[in-house]
Structure 1
């Protein structure tokens, strides 16, 4: 199994999440920062990054650390002994980063049992809230068909104040590939 978080895998996840360089309140009111990182990740984001924007490099550096320490172990555990392609590995890691539910996911169990069509359908069982359906379809298509959906760019949003919510109307595309290459020490 691919055990390496490649640039392509990391940029796929960032592309689904987006980047916010200072702490903000997510839709549930949880303080969040960078690429969807919260205090529960093991990295303290609040109050550290409230009114304290960080460089793109720092945001992605902590994101890569969180991927390696909090999410990669579950992917390795669930698919232990199975050779995953880069796209299968990337889709599984993206799914787990977003849901935290890979160990419980019927799609993974069915795929490991050789029930590929059932696994493909079960992937979409994780489609709530409705806003997540596009991402879930992209992850499914990446896992089963090898179709990548991100091109080395991500959307970055500023924080609106005093609400501390992302300013959705002011998002801009930023290049992330070069920074991820540097952080992951990969060409």
Structure 2
């Protein structure tokens, strides 16, 4: 099972997108769609900027381990909206917290009604509640119709008309020694790093 285009769009709407580094609600340097240094390169520092294309590429790459963690944690088949809501929650609270969440235990016990309500247990800080309610409402859908990023939003999220940006393959860490990795995979992170450095140096 994988994150659907509509699930990805809902998560992107919840995260928002900021092209200049900022401190989040708990003081962690963040950029793009929720990218932090903990997610992997590039490290986020004060003054960093991204283009929209760089932010989209980072988001696509950052999603991969979270979707994999949700897939590994859920032992039984679930509806697509529930899976997508789990990916959104996991991206927000972290893989370790998600793996031990009560909603995972409930879903694996085939108790989806209570698993849906367990999304609301993750209600801190209070500013997160509207997002959590949106995830709960998404998880409750048997199949997709309309989905809202947050409860109370004036308009639903819609899936993109074109395919979402695919995450590039991460480069082989031994490339500088062996020179054997695929050239496109090898150069992607290097190009992103150089572009970010250029933006920081020029103030773009």
Taking structure 1 as the reference length, what is the TM-score of the superposition?
A: 0.73
CA displacement 1:31-62 (0-9 Å, x = unmatched): 11101111000122323xx4343221210111
Query: What CA distance in whole angstroms lies between the structure 1 residues aligned with 2:112 and 2:159?
Result: 33
| Aligned ranges 1:114-153 → 2 under 5 Å | 114-145=110-141, 146=143, 147-150=146-149
Structure-2 residue corresponding to 1:30: 28
User: Which runs of 5 or more residues in structure 1 are unaligned?
Assistant: 151-174
Query: What CA distance in whole angstroms lies between the structure 2 residues aligned with 1:88 and 1:183?
Result: 22
Greater strand share, 1 or 2? Answer: 1
Query: What CA distance in whole angstroms lies between the structure 2 residues aligned with 1:176 and 1:19?
Result: 17
Give the structure with higher Rg (CA). Answer: 2
Q: 1:104 to 1:32 in 2, by over 3 A?
A: same
- CA-CA distance at 1:143 after TM superposition: 1.0
Query: What CA distance in whole angstroms lies between the structure 2 residues aligned with 1:83 and 1:122?
Result: 18
Q: Which has the higher contact order (CA 8 A, sep 6+)?
A: 1
CA RMSD of aligned residues (A): 2.4
Match of 2:73 among 69, 78, 101: 78
Taking structure 2 as the reference length, what is the TM-score of the superposition?
A: 0.67
**CA contact under 8 A between 1:31 and 1:45: conserved in structure 2?**
no
Aligned pair count reads: 154
Structure-1 residue corresponding to 2:182: none
Runs of 4+ aligned residues of structure 1 deviating over 3 Å after TM superposition are 175-178
- CA-CA distance at 1:84 after TM superposition: 3.0
